[in-house]
């Protein structure tokens, strides 16, 4: 991700409906993982998700391939190091949890990233991964933020399982707003990362939050989430 996009993300993430709900998803998933341990947040940008991990009791480290992102994360009090996700500077079996939200779609050799996730995870460790889904949604936004692909369930589970990880669950997110996203992306001329009117932001927040309670996670959405474990 370009330095400009990273700065824009940091400016938006505390209030923007997209990022706020994804933080909520992460918090809910962490509650089901048991006792906190060491965590690695790959492609952390400004460290927003890393801070969620830390607040939940995890000894969390952020990594990013952008020096700008690492410096901005450190300025926000996040423990952060520069790293290529395809060759992580951490020992084998050293992490209890690895998160990679919106990372795999930026890297052509995505199998190298999932292999590295499996390598650094301790036996029984968890991986939480999020990616944009469905090439039918490909648009100028994807070009602007540096995507090389969008995923389907089979392609995501395939690259994760090939690395030796055991998929526990895959689910769709941003299902209710997909028709609106489809319409918007057809007219898109660049990144969707922008501030929006407070009333619009609140309305979208309410709609996407409703997915917490509705049986829509098996339907087509805009993103996919995946929880995997490394066998003991």
pLDDT at 1: 57
Residues 164-203 as b/e (b if ≥16 CB within 10 A, e otherwise) read ebebeebbbbbbbbbeebeeebeebeebbbeeeeeeebee
How many whole angstroms separate alpha carbon 148 and alpha carbon 182? 19
Find the angle CA(112)-CA(2)-CA(4) to the nearest 5 degrees. 155
**What span, in angstroms and rounded, lies between the C-alpha atoms of 230 and 104?**
18
Q: Classify residue 212 as exposed, middle or buried by CB count within 10 Å of its CB (0-12, 13-18, 19+).
A: exposed
Whole-number Å distance between alpha carbons of 115 and 159: 9
Tell me what pLDDT residue 108 has. 96
CA–CA dist 201, 166 (Å, integer)? 36
Select from 209, 218, 177, 203 the least CA-distant residue to 28.
Answer: 209
pLDDT of residue 221: 96
* Predicted TM-score (pTM) above 0.85: yes
Q: What is the pLDDT of residue 192?
A: 67
Residue with tokens 């707003």: 177
CA 48 to chain centre: 11
Residues of the chain under the 70 pLDDT cut: 1-3, 189-190, 192-193
For the stretch 116-166, pLDDT in tens is 999 999 999 999 999 999 999 998 888 888 899 999 999 999 999 999 999
pLDDT given for residue 186 in this prediction = 76
At residue 171, the pLDDT reads 98
Q: How confident is the model at residue 110, as a pLDDT?
A: 97
* DSSP SS3 for 83: coil
Looking at residue 3, what is its pLDDT? 67
Element (H, E) at 226: strand 223-230
- The ranges assigned to domains in the chain are 3-230
Superfamily (CATH) of domain 3-230: Vaccinia Virus protein VP39 (3.40.50.150)
């Amino acid at each position: 991700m370009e330095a400009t996009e990273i700065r824009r993300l940091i400016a938006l993430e505390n209030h923007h409906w997209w990022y706020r709900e994804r933080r909520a998803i992460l918090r809910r998933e962490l509650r089901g993982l048991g006792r906190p341990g060491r965590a690695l947040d790959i492609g952390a940008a400004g460290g927003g998700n890393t801070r969620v991990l830390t607040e939940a009791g995890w000894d969390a480290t952020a990594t990013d391939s952008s020096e700008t992102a690492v410096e901005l994360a450190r300025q926000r009090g996040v423990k952060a190091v520069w790293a290529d996700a395809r060759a992580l500077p951490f020992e084998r079996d050293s992490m209890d949890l690895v998160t990679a939200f919106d990372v795999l779609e930026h890297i052509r050799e995505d199998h190298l990233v999932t292999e590295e996730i499996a390598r650094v995870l301790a036996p029984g460790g968890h991986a939480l991964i999020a990616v944009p889904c469905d090439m039918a949604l490909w648009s100028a936004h994807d070009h602007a933020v540096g995507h090389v692909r969008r995923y389907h369930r089979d392609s995501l589970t395939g690259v994760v399982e090939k690395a030796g990880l055991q998929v526990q669950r895959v689910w769709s997110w941003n299902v209710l707003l997909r028709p609106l996203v489809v319409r918007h992306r057809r007219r898109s001329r660049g990144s969707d990362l922008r501030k929006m009117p407070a009333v619009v932001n609140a309305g979208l927040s309410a709609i996407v939050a409703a997915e917490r309670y509705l049986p829509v996670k098996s339907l087509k959405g805009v993103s996919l989430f995946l929880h995997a474990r490394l066998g003991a």
